[in-house]
Structures are given as C-alpha cells and as structure tokens.
Chains A and B, each alone.
Chain A
Amino acid sequence: MAQPAFPAKRYSKNTTLVIGTMLAGLALVSTVALTSLSASSIRGASSAIDPGPRPLPAAAGAFYTTLTPNQNAVTSRLTTVMTEVNQVTGGQQKTVGLGPGFNSNSCTSCHAYPANGGTSPPVNPLFAIFNLFGGTNTMPFFITTNGPVVVARFIHQADGVTPDGGVHDMFTISNRTDAPGCTGLVQPDFSGEAAKGNLINRLTTPTYGEGLVELVQESDIVANLAANSSLKQTLGITGHPNYSGDDGGINRFGWKAQIRSLVYFSGEAYNVEEGNSNEMFPNERDESVPSCLPPFPVGSTFHTKGVPDDRVDTGEAPKKPVNFSGDLERFGLFTRFLAPPTPVAPTPSTTNGQVQFNNVGCVLCHQTSFTTPKSSIAALSQQTATLYSDLAVHHMGPLLADGIMQGQAGPDEFRTAPLWGIGQRLFFMHDGRTSDIVQAIQDHFSLGNSQYPASEANGVVNNFNALSPTNQQDLINFLRSL
C-alpha cells in the first residue's frame, strides 16, 4: 500500500505550526497517547493526539429496546446465526456450506469489535481460522496478528487491462478433513499481484444502526447534497449518490456505497466472505474443482446437498425445522435490529470539538444526521440517525484511490464513512491503513495527479490544520466520544 506521502507544499506551509504545536500538544495529553505517536508512520500537520479507542465495555451491539415482543422472540436465533461457525460439512445442521473459497468462517469473526456486528478486533481472528480442519493455507502477507481484517480485491484481471474489482478469497477448503476429497484449489498469488500494484484491501465495515441507514429517503439524501452548495463549492466538495441500477434508489452500504440494502449485503457477504451460496448468489464462486463442490460424500454427517448452501428454511434436513426464512434474511434482520452506537456524554472539550468539526467543514460530507420515515418496524420509525455521513461518494485523490469502480463510484471515489461508533474503532480508512485518528484525518488530503483529481477533502483538512492546537484536540476528542 502506498505510504501516505505528505504533500511538500502543504507541509512547508505548516512546518512552523507543527513544531510549535507539538510541544503544546504533548503537554496537553496523557502519556498513554505517546505510544500512538511511535505507532503511526507519518504525523499530520497537527499536534493533536489521538486519545486512542475508548475502552470496553462496548457502546454498541445491543438490539433496540423498542422491538416488539415477537421481534424480540427471534433475536436469539438471529444472534445464533450471526455467530455460528461454518464448516464445509459436519458440525451442526445450520453450520455447513463453507467454501470452496473463504475469508472467514463466521459473520462475527470479522464483525467483532467492540461487539457483535462491528469491525476488526485487536487480535486478528484469521490466524485461528485459516488452517482449521487441516487446511493448508498460507497466510497472505498483508494479514498480521495485530492488523485489521481486510479482504483482497484485484484491480485488473490477469491480462492487466480488463477491470476486475472482485473480492479474491484468501483461503480455500483444500485438504480440510471436513471437505473429504477436495484437493487442488489454489490460493491467489497475493504477493505477485501486490508486486504488480494490482492488489487492494478493504476493511470490514461495522453494521450498527444500519437498519436506520437503509430507510433514509433518497429525497433527503439528494436535498442534503444540494444544501450549502456555495460553501461546498468554495471548499471543492461535490459528491454524488451511487444509484442502484435495479430500482433507481441510492445504494448506501460498503466502502463505495455499492450495495443497496442489508439483505443484499448479507447475501453477498455470505457467499463472498464465507463461500455460502444462498438465494441471492446461488452458485459457488469457484467451480473449477468438482471435488470441492457440494455434495460431499459424507454419508449421514451434516452437509449441504448442493447449491445454494443456504435457502429459505422449509424444514428439511440438514436445516433445523425452525420454519423461519434463511440465514440471508436472518443476517438482514440482525443488522436491522442492531441499535446505533451510543456516544459518551458531551464534555466542554467534545462540545467545542463538534463546533470545530462543523466550522472547518467536516460536517459538509460527514452530515450529522438523517431522520427515517415511518417504518413498518416500529423501532426504526421516525428515528434520528446520527451517523455523520451524507451517504454519497466523493473523489478522494490519488493517495486513497484504489482503482476499482463499483456502479457509479469511480476508482478514486469513496462513500463518506459514517462516524458513529468511531470512538471505539481500531482501524481507519478503507484499507485500515492507520490506527491513528489524526493520521486518518490527514489521509483525507491528497493532491491530484494526471490520473485523479485532488481530494474533495483538501480544503477541509487545510482548515483543520489551521485550527489552534486546542481546537484540533477538542475535535479529536469529539470524534473519540462518538
């Protein structure tokens, strides 16, 4: 991954400020924060220091307290299906269908922190997973024990020209004892692709509160984009929705807002991340090795009879006779029922931080809130979702560009990441390139080149760097309060 080289022009402009405020900044914060200094590669033009993630207990991960009794009655099933560990065969009735390729074996292994439904935990879970049941996978170089859970996509296909953009699963079920007879699947050559500059990574996105996000009306998103247009223009901010070709609605999930809704998200993730084919993506992704496709010759042991591995449950073995949709719909409901993260109570510092957040223009993309319309799920009805996102995609410059187009999101465009819950977030930016929230802010800055225009955030990041050290620190504190 390209090192976020600091633009020389801007650096010189702020050198004095950097040096001058560094001491003040050090004086302001606790010594705990010093560790984050050494951990981060290049410091931004700011003396503010990331106080680090707020400690547990998690301020997220609970279901709405306003669910109806009938909805509450199914939440335990939803949690079960989110946390269940998938195998190829065997195990329990509902826990089969892994592979042929996979990134992990359960939803919550990646959506783990600070609670179920979230994102990367401190210790990378993939090391405990990749060679279960005698698997013979090699861990890709970009997965490290204390690094983020990321997926791999290739920019181009093997010809170096045709766009790819798809997720290439890190692991295979070859040689696993629960995949009898399956041999010959090959992991992608991640090192080779990286050497060609063809590898990009994306971090797990948290799912808290997404039931509200899903319901935000397109008319509100469009009206918000059109608001404050002269101010946005001054700062170089534009942005546009990533419209769905299916219904003309606005896609809103994923790093490029490439996914329309939670059921869609669940269906894709189940197949792409775990290899569980389902009623939205009904085939196995890698069909090249017949011995690695269902059904496996395992006699009476639990296994899927064929594709899709998961389907609406009509009660036949190997599915439990619970008569209640498929995993796909259950994942969708789980995330729909997850309440948003709860911020901590404001302090004078965070209150001023939010004022600065608004003044420098962060809020022009990280829109504070939307209100949902009336919903058939009462818990989601007419709720204010304080998500800090405009649900639009923006040009972010060459340093963040990942070269991959998805729908109407270009190779240098990303969805404004919602900031709710960021107070306990461990890794930042689409590829988890930093754990330092100050660095993450600076990573929004990128001058244009021949390929991509300048980041739309440049004006705002300049404004941030021009703030007094106190105001910068308050802004950081505000973010860590979310």
Chain B
Amino acid sequence: MTEKSRMNDMSQQSNPSRPVNRLALRVLVPALLLVAVFGVAITYFPKNATGRSPLTSAVDPGPRGGAPGAGGFLTGLSSNEKQILPTITTEFNRAHDVVVTSPVDGGLGPRFNSNSCVSCHQYPAAGGSSPVSNPLFSVYQQRGASNIMPSFITTSGPILEARFIHQSDGVTPDGNIHQLFTISGRSDATGCSISQPDFTTAQLTGNLALRQPTPMYGSGLMEIIKNIDIVNNMNANLALKQSLGIAGHPNYSGNDGSIQRFGWKAQFRAVLTVASAQLNTEMGVTNEMFPTELDQTPGCVINPLPETVTNFTPGILTENFPGDAERDMLYATWLLGPKGVAPTPSTTNGQTQFNNIGCVLCHTTSFTTPAGSRPALTNQTITLYSDFLVHHMGPGLADGIAQGGAGPDEFRTAPLWGIGQRLFFMHDGRTKDLVQAIEDHYSLGNGTYGNSEANSVITNFNALSTSNQQDLLNFLRSL
C-alpha cells in the first residue's frame, strides 16, 4: 500500500459512512475469527487502501458538537503567571512573516509548513489539532510565494507534515521533516530561490511518511508524570498483556535517561523541546535551542540568527522575558487537559467494554502528577488514556522511520482525551471514522515487521455485540 493510495482513499472519505455492507460483515465475523484462531496468516478480507475494513455495524457518531471541550488555561495559576497569559497567547497566535522587526516577530522560512503555531494546533480550540478546513491554502502563497500545494494536502483533509524515509541514495535513513513550502517568491524574501522537495517522486517510490499535528492540551501535566509511574504501569497486568500480544516500552531520552513522551513516536522529552524544535522545523524560526536555519542556501538566510532570542530590553515583565520558544512552552504547559461530557448509561458501559477487551492495557486511563513547582500542575489526576509507551503496530501503520528508541513500526499510544471532538485519526490522519481508526490498529506481520500488538484487542472488539461496540464508540466520543 503506498502512501499515495492511502491518502487518495482518505480524501474520498469525507463523511464517516463506510463503503462496505455492514450486515454482510456481521455474518462474516464468526468465520473470520475462526480463520484467525487457526493462525492462517492470510489476508482474510479484501483490503482497501486504508487497511482492514471495519468488521462491525457500529457507527461513529462523529465529532461531538457544542462548545469546545478543550482550550483555556489551568485553574490555579498564580496572579504572576496570569500576568503573562496575554504575551504567550499573542505569541502562540502570531503569524510570522520573514523579516524580523523585533525580538519576537518574523523569522519564517527559508522552509516552512505553516506560519503560526495556532494554524495547525487549532481545533477544537487553540492548542489542538487539524481544523475542518485546511488552513494551509491561505498560507502557502502569501506575499507572492511561488509554492505548489502538494497533492496530499487537500482542502478538507488533515494538516500533514512530510518526512522522507530514506535519503536520496535510497538506503541511508532520513526520517527528517521536509517542509512543504519555501519563502521563494515572497515579497519579503527577495534573493531567495530554492525549490520545494519533490513530494510526487517520494510518494511514487514509497519514500514519503506523513504525520498530523498532535494536540497540546494538558502537556504541562504530561511532562511531569514520574518516569517510575510509567514503568510501574508498564509492568502491571503482565500476564494479561502477554496473552494478548501486548508489550511496549519507553522511548528513553539519551540525555538524562528519562522517558520521552511527546510526538507520534514519543521522540520528545519536554514541552520546551517540542516548542523549540517546532518553531524551527514547522515555521523555520531559529531560536536559542535550534539556532541555525534549515536551509543555508545563500540569499535565503535573511535574518540574523537566532531569529527569536531572549529580549534584553529592560522594562515590564512582558518585555523582559525569554524568547518565543519559552513563551510557546509556557502556553502549552499551562493548557488545561480536554474535558469530556457527563457519562450516560451508554458511555459508562462503553468504558467497561473498553476496559474488558483490553484497549485500556495500552490506553491507560490516568496518571497523577507529582508535587510540582507550579501549584497549578501539582497532584493532578490526568485522564489521558495513554501509557506513554511505544508499541509495534504492524506493517499497516509502520511508517519506516526510527526515532530514538522507537522503531519504524512503533508508535506512542496516542492519548485519547479530547478524541470526542477530533476530526482526523492515526498518525497520518488516514481516516475521519473512529470505527476505521480502531480497525486500523489491526495488522498482520510481514517479512519486515511483526504483528500489531493491538491485533487481539481488535479481535475482541469485533467479537463484541453491536450494542457494546456502539457504547464503546459513544464512550470515545464522550472524551
């Protein structure tokens, strides 16, 4: 399955209805499970481009309407902390142009994916993920930029960043982000002439891996969860996990030996690292942690480096403050975790099913933060539904990219809080249908990768009654 076919298929799935006859599938389920029991490693169902088709008649109720269940800052911030909410909000929302006119402005490019944090971290509220209407179409040709929109970015599709699996020799691992756009042609970047990467060829040769933005709500709570709690949770219920084929391990930081926890492969340790890396890799804004430009072609390094830097201008607090990276970090660390809706009999039973069939063995219900130096973050139970571990997810999801201790077929258990209002699922946003997303966790091994660790749990899900399946979906959409 190529990324191209996957994405084409996805773009056609603009509503949650699925292209197969669910009644026929219900009849097929027992026979298919029998096949699975006998371990016949065949592709037992005609695969479409998104992987296994749903073996259920339950229906994704779709993203929850109403007020956003996320966004906003932690209650319990001190008055001093509250003083700086305006400046960090301004920074998070600021659209960057190329030319720097103050220590907290400009810096876009030479290569970029978008021009503000909030453009990608937008839905259902600032700090989130992809919105309904893709914002990149209003960004990519601003100020006369001569960019072509890559085919995998569509008006109603998810925002995606592109990584290449291998370098141009086809052998050496790459894995880095290749920004979609350049500043060439922009009126504020005269003298810079560089080309966009050849995404078409990368797609055709199977060298393209796509990832959608991860929501940032509750990150400040996630980053201080104790490592020891993550490890203890990993070691709980071992026999049950083993019987289901579930393993999982942390992606340890090579720097301090602690557990990384942000990004699709848990490749980042802390919010500050994420904020700094993304300033540079998504917008091209060099900063005190990543101080050099992504592309150093003469004529394209337009501003003095780094482009955002500690502001030494004396004065009030909001001026005499660190650079954008720290502001973005504070913005994200002070965002509340998403709030679900009140339970109903259906969602209550759905959570029971979620636990019974084993979803919860990876999507761990909650962790509690330790004493924090900021009271707002102290001793908070966060109901995030993730174990912070990476797991083998089989050839169907593998993206071929290793990051630290996370292998090419491994992904972090995505936190499910806020999923009730999520529009796109899986690391590459391949589906908008929550039922399909569950089924996408299933993947038989091949010559390159082993089975998905989720296979047994998905089989359990498919064996549930339709009513229980529906309750489970309703539970997820209540989060």
Interface residues in chain A, defined as those with a beta carbon under 8 Å from any beta carbon in chain B: 68, 70-71, 73-74, 165-167, 214-220, 244-249, 258-264, 267-268, 271-272, 279-283, 285, 287-288, 293-295, 304-309, 311-312, 314-316, 321, 323-325, 329, 332-333, 373-377, 381, 406-407
Contact = CB atoms under 8 A, between A and B. Distances in A.
B305 A376 contact: yes
Contacts of A258: 254-255
10 contacts: A246-B290, A247-B290, A248-B294, A263-B288, A272-B256, A282-B224, A283-B224, A283-B227, A325-B326, A374-B304
Contacts of B289: 260-261, 263-264
B224 A308 contact: yes
Which 3 pairs between the two chains have the least Cβ-Cβ distance?
A306-B371, A70-B312, A219-B296
B138 interface: no
Contact of B176 (A71, A73, A248, A308): A248
A381 B306 CA distance: 11
A191 B372 CA distance: 36
B310 A325 contact: yes
B175 interface: yes
Given A281-B270, A287-B226, A376 B100 contact: yes
A30 B16 CA distance: 86
Given A305-B372, A332-B288, A376-B309, A288 B224 contact: no
A364 to B, nearest CB: 23
B305 A73 contact: no
B340 to A, nearest CB: 26
B324 interface: no
A311 B373 contact: yes
B370 interface: yes
Contact of B373 (A71, A74, A288, A304): A304
Interface stretch (B313-321, B444-452, B458-466): B313-321
Given A263-B288, A280-B269, A314-B84, A375 B258 contact: no
A308 B227 contact: no
A460 B307 CA distance: 40
Chain B, interface size: which category? 35 or more
A215 B100 CA distance: 18
A189 B272 CA distance: 34
A271 B296 contact: no
Nearest to B103: A376
Given A261-B288, A376-B309, A381-B304, A73 B273 contact: no
Given A247-B277, A248-B177, A316 B80 contact: yes
Given A307-B371, A376-B305, A312 B326 contact: yes
B228, B281, B292, B310 — which one has the most chain A CB atoms within 10 A of its CB?
A: B292
A365 B256 CA distance: 29
Given A70-B312, A246-B281, A306 B372 contact: yes
Interface string B359-399: 00000000000111111011000000000000000000000
A374 B100 CA distance: 13
A305 B254 contact: no
Contacts of A165: 254
B404 A245 contact: yes
Contacts of B43: none
A281 B296 CA distance: 30
B257 interface: yes
Contacts of B312: 68, 70-71, 73-74
Contacts of A216: 292
Contacts of A215: 291-292, 305
Contacts of A73: 312, 314
Given A280-B273, A325-B310, A247 B280 contact: yes
B272 A285 contact: no
Given A281-B256, A293-B370, A325-B322, A245 B267 contact: yes
B185 to A, nearest CB: 22
B228, B289, B301, B307 — which one has the most chain A CB atoms within 10 A of its CB?
A: B289
